[in-house]
Amino acid sequence: MENPIVIGIDAGGTMTDTILVDRHGHFKIGKAATTPKDEAEGFVASSLDAAEAWGISLESLFSGVDVVLYSGTGMLNTLLSRTGRRLGLITTKGMEDMILMGRGLQAWADYSYADRLHAVTHHHPDPLVPRRRTHGVTERIDHFGDVVLPLYDADVVKAARALIKDKVDAICIMTIFSHVNPVHEKRIAEICREEVAKAGAEITVYTSHEVRPVIREQSRLNSVLIEAYATSRGRKQLRGIEDASKKYGFKYGVQTLLSFGGLTSINHPRLHETMISGPIGGILGAAYIGKLIGNDSLICSDMGGTSFDMGVISRGQTRIENEPLMDRFKLNVPTLHLDTIGAGAGMILKVDPLTRKISLGPESAGSDPGPICFDRGGTEPTIADCDAILGRLNPDYFLGGKVKLQVEKARAAFKEKCADPLGVGVEEAAEGMIEMLEADANNALRRVISGQGIHPSEFTLLSYGGSGPLHLAGCSKGIGFKDIITFQFAAGFSAFGCTTADYMRRHSVSTQIDISARATEDRLVAAGSQITKVWNDLERAAVDEMLADGHAREKIKTVPFFMARYTGQLEDVEVIAPLPAVNSADDMRAVLAQFEEVYAKANHRVSKYGEAGFSLMELGVIATADKIKPTLIRRPLGTANPASAHKGTREAYIGGRWHKTNLYEMDLLEPGHEVTGPAIIEHPATTLVVHPNDRVFIDEWTLLHYIHA
């Protein structure tokens, strides 16, 4: 085999997965425990595991690759654990309490139904800036962008000096309507930088119009605060990754994944756009697989140690969420839409000895100390311990044998803490716990599908993540999918998805362009020229950033898009523009017709409401540059008998009793092979459990199709 050209890394809450890809699409997967204190350690350990699988040294690996992609959750964890920087805020006078007030929607976000009913349990998210480090300055710009009150420089000087004295790490600036006219924000930043220089302090200055010039002040404020609060530690971690790569001979800069599905340099000026990069890779990988199998309606399900993430591609449309919630903050960051529940193999199990009530999670054992069977100091039973107790995990082959599972230790603790309080046998209790987890995931999938207005029989379920195949049978049972697919590289599928992405920049700005259903030719032309001017400005900005990252101009492609709604509605739909510029009334009609077509796909044909007129709420440009991608190899179907992959039998408890279960090596399964349950298909990084009478068929792309009896 040739040497790899791409390294893709996905650092999850429990494990860090690495995928190596050569130019013909061959790949190998490496896995190691995530190391939150210094992510570079887990990155090197995982890369070493993958390099050993390929049969080359770390030096040969890094000196030969063109691209290193790193996606993880480090910045999100900084926000969740409230360990970010010390911030100060300068805003329009009268808006100083904006952070404390928040938005009703985010104040109740992530609360259970019971907690929403009983407001006594409620509290707002802890503010990232306390009120005493928030300073108001006299200035006002109206929603047309006109200056109503000039900026009082003396107020800014006073505020800046107070924040410098307060020893802040960063000053954030957010004034009202700065997304329409940023003149005051620019001047405030200028004065702050002068004062910081005079004081000889090291303080970074952030402005909201540079971070995200989009309507809705609260989300824009959250975006600039989180950029300032969480990304500096994230940058430090990413630089550590880059330094580790260069130490082993990597010649270029490390890339990371944007939340809307493209690659960017780790020096990206708006790094908060990469905060939830890990699960996004899975959706990109799913879109890639969808093209191979010829289905554009896909449900992506990613189960790891901590969470169960679900994404939907519905008739070719991937939903972009413009204001996602992140740790109970609403942000102006376009993000591929994901639904997440706490359900993974690391979920801690508890039984109340008095009521016998069972609770799954929400805590996860993570990688340190991990489940009891890992023997790293974990004392609380988890779902992974149940899988080990029931013989579904191979104690001698976890991570290819690098971790020897202590099944008896897990069994003794599970018996004492779960089975005995319930008054049932160990196996019965363990399988019951697994069934509860799978029922939660199954219900979550049904809920996600019911919101699409499309029958489940149109969807293909793609299951991945280290624990995805292990619990696939129960998660997918009875829903009626068209097809259910998992992968030999399921554990590294999100990392694989990252390698299918192109380099990307996305620039957008809020607008308010209303066009009535009976607009005149002149009005259509005027709206078109307004739109074209904004697109041209945004294209220049996006291309300049790509050039600064070292991409050649001829390799950069740009596509304009817009966010629109029928006038009076509350939600926008994102539409890729059918034309690069709008130069006539007919061009404008084509743009509106494109919106109606996308709207009908997302909602339904009968939901069109053109009589209300159209409102274009945001204009944007996506700039991309190609990179080398993996290609899956298509091979002819052979014999159905999987004897060449058979590696013995093991007792496993499935469906209420012990079975003599056939074992297969996942990497040795060939196109055409068929495996009938009860069976367990093993890979160093994941395990696929095939229930009695269910079947698994290997297709010409070596994808594994799960067929329920």
Residue-wise pLDDT for 505-542, tens only, equals 888 888 889 999 899 999 999 999 999 999 999 999 99
The pLDDT value given to residue 493:
87
pLDDT at 77 over 80: no
How many other β-carbons are positioned within 10 Å of the β-carbon of residue 568?
A: 9
Residue-wise pLDDT for 307-331, tens only, equals 788 888 887 777 767 666 666 666 6
The pLDDT value given to residue 8:
87
How many other β-carbons are positioned within 10 Å of the β-carbon of residue 112?
A: 9
Residue 6 banded pLDDT, cuts 50, 70, 90:
confident
How many other β-carbons are positioned within 10 Å of the β-carbon of residue 641?
A: 11
Q: Is the C-alpha dihedral spanning 195, 196, 198, 199 positive or negative?
A: positive
User: Rounded to whole angstroms, how far apart are CA atoms 632 and 407?
Assistant: 37
- The segment with the largest mean pLDDT, out of 258-262, 498-502, 594-598, is 594-598
Domains of the chain: 6-78+234-274 (3.30.420.40), 82-228 (3.40.50), 503-625 (no CATH), 643-707 (no CATH)
Q: 184 vs 148, 176, 411, 463, CA distance in Å? A: 11, 10, 65, 50
Lowest mean pLDDT among 81-85, 162-166, 292-296, 298-302: 81-85
Residue 32 banded pLDDT, cuts 50, 70, 90:
confident
